[in-house]
Amino acid sequence: MKLKHDSNEETEIKLRWLLLGELATWIGSSFVWPLTSVYLNKQLHISLSVIGVVLFCNCASNVLGSLIAGRLYDRVNPYPLIVTGLGLDALVLFCMAFFHGWPEYWFWLILTGCISGWNGTLINSIATSLHNYSGRYVFNLVYFAQNVGTVTGTLLVGYLYDFSIEFLFLLAASLFAIACINAAIHYRPISTYHKKRQKNVAEKGEKHKSESMPKYNFMLMIGFLISLAVTWLMYMNWESNLSVYMVSLGIPFHLYSLLWTLNGAIIVTVQVILARFPHLFKNLFHQIIFGTLMFAISFATLIFAKDFAHFALSMVVLTLGEATAFPAVPAYINDLSPLSSKGKYQGEINVARGIGQAFGPLFGGLVIDRAGYIPFFIIAACGIFMMIVLLLPLHAKLRKHITLYK
């Protein structure tokens, strides 16, 4: 296995400022997405089928934003891109505070979906520029900040929604404004890094190769992206169809909500452990395989779940998979990506995730409507396990031929 190391002579963004930006934006985002279905249905009297189209458009625009941002990161100075993106998100949320009727809410949701994909890809891409820490450590902490933000936002949104939806959007806009100011002040070193990177790319003769990575690296990355998309395809049903199933079994809805509090607590705990013991897994590939296996097992346990205790057990196993596999994928793809293509391939990760998120509830709903919940759990467990069957021989065949860019 060949290794290529990039020098680290220039000042880089401090990790704490990157994490602060992630924390603020994810708290703000978590004020919006949990209430969308409830607000559209209960307040604006929009049908569930139309809401499904609205959410699909949001995911599709997120994918588009990810694609564009990833390619721009490799070509132009990322500093104005991220500052502009965060500022635009704050502006959209501010507009939503005063204009949240129908169909303008749909329009704003498409815009914020695109901008969220833009910002998410740029943050992940900027994270690849931090060389004072290992990529595994950086992406684990980024994922940690995202989930602390999600837990905080979803915990507060119920109370704030009852108080005032206008105040909710204004608070979300304020958080994005804070993230924008933080980026404007503390993300300036990415401009210097970009100039240095462009110079290195030109010196290495990679100027015309910014669209590609080595063939074997690319083949392995495709395997990871397929696995990620399939995992998200199944995982999204925890956020949609599982609530209906639990209620049909006589389990109160508030206990379903409690599962997500448990999810957030376990993710935070696991990320702390991984940050403290970065070599708990031998390498990133082992971490991805472990996490994917936990996802498959979690759906297998759902086959037998009939009470809250069993659903809680399934959630624990699911969260172990989420907390290990999801942050490891961008870290490994960062190692597979040449200096000239970091942004492009971080964008592809968000595309794979967005495809799974967009089609997951629809896929699960179709299977459940035609066959029932138990057959869906079996299909989900087998589908995710097949990703392990795909990745293990693929990695074994390619590992001696791939080039890692540290």
Q: How confident is the model over 44-75, as pLDDT tens digits?
A: 887 766 777 887 888 889 889 988 998 898 88
Residue 342 makes CB contacts below 8 A (sequence gap 6+) with 73, 74, 125, 128, 129, 334
Which tokens belong to 5? Answer: 């190391």
Distance CA 110, CA 143 (A): 24
Residue 174: CB atoms within 10 Å: 15
Q: Sorting pLDDT into bands at 50, 70 and 90, what band is 369? A: confident
Which tokens belong to 90? Answer: 């704050």
Is the confidence at residue 210, as pLDDT, over 50? Answer: no
DSSP for 50-73?
HHHHHHHHHHHHHHHHHHHHHHHH
Q: What pLDDT sits at residue 24?
A: 93
CA dihedral 321, 327, 333, 339 (to 10 degrees): -170
Q: How confident is the model over 166-175, as pLDDT tens digits?
A: 888 999 999 9
Q: Which is more confident, 256 or 192?
A: 192
Residue 405: CB atoms within 10 Å: 22
Q: Which is more confident, 191 or 158?
A: 191
Q: How confident is the model over 320-367, as pLDDT tens digits?
A: 999 999 989 998 998 898 877 888 888 889 889 888 988 887 888 888
For range 124-139, the mean pLDDT:
84
Q: What pLDDT sits at residue 23?
A: 92
Mean pLDDT of the residues in the chain: 85
Q: Domains in the chain and their CATH numbers?
A: 13-203 (1.20.1250.20), 212-406 (1.20.1250.20)
Is the confidence at residue 83, as pLDDT, over 50? Answer: yes
Distance CA 346, CA 127 (A): 10
pTM for the predicted model, two decimal places:
0.80
What percent of the chain is predicted at pLDDT more than 70? 92
Is the confidence at residue 7, as pLDDT, over 60? Answer: no
Q: Sorting pLDDT into bands at 50, 70 and 90, what band is 34? A: low
Q: What pLDDT sits at residue 48?
A: 61
Q: Sorting pLDDT into bands at 50, 70 and 90, what band is 176? A: very high
DSSP for 96-121?
HHH--STTHHHHHHHHHHHHHHHHHH
Q: How confident is the model over 182-207, as pLDDT tens digits?
A: 999 999 998 888 888 777 766 665 44
Is the confidence at residue 249, as pLDDT, over 50? Answer: yes
Is the confidence at residue 8, as pLDDT, over 60? Answer: no
Residue 147: CB atoms within 10 Å: 26
